Amino acid sequence: MNEAVRVGIGVIVVRAGRVLLGQRQGSHGAGHWALPGGHLEFGEAIEACAARELAEETGLAAARFARGPYTSDVFGSPPRHYLTLFVLAHAVSGEPVRCEPDKCLGWQWCEWDALPQPVFAPLQSLVDSGWRPPDMS
């Protein structure tokens, strides 16, 4: 078991009252619905990581990013501990592309109050905290 705490970035893209989620495959949390995101790289700025992961995974670009909440979660088997920094992407146009078909079964616009199940642990933790995206109608 790796006992280091890792930092993950989850990018929140909201459009018309729906949030963009992808169904994971091929790694831990397979089958779970998650935000676009990934590991913060050494020396990388938080917003730069959000922009990079969003582009790598969906092909989308945002005009600006705003820092959101964070969660701390131990999950999986063997257990891993992630600090997840959520970043809100604003003024995103275009439709998401499944850029990494080996890692994502597909992107879907989802209602915050009716998320497809199961939800990836850090996002479930955020939902359970009662937080909601501010631009969610």
Residues that bind ligand 8DG (CB under 6 A): 8, 10, 27-28, 34-35, 37-39, 53, 82, 84, 120, 122-123
Q: Which residue type does 74 have?
A: V
**132 contact choice in Mg ion, ligand 8DG, none (CB below 5 to 8 Å, kind-dependent):** none
Detail the DSSP E strand segments found in 16-116. Answer: 18-24, 33-34, 37-39, 62-75, 80-92, 104-111
Site for Mg ion in 48-107 (CB under 5 A): 53
Work out how close the CB of 35 gets to Mg ion at its nearest, in angstroms, rounded to a whole number: 9
Give the residue among 69, 61, 58 at the shortest CA–CA distance from 109. Answer: 58
Q: Which is nearer to ligand 8DG, 38 or 59 (CB)?
A: 38
d(CA 90, CA 18): 13
Q: Which is nearer to Mg ion, 14 or 51 (CB)?
A: 51
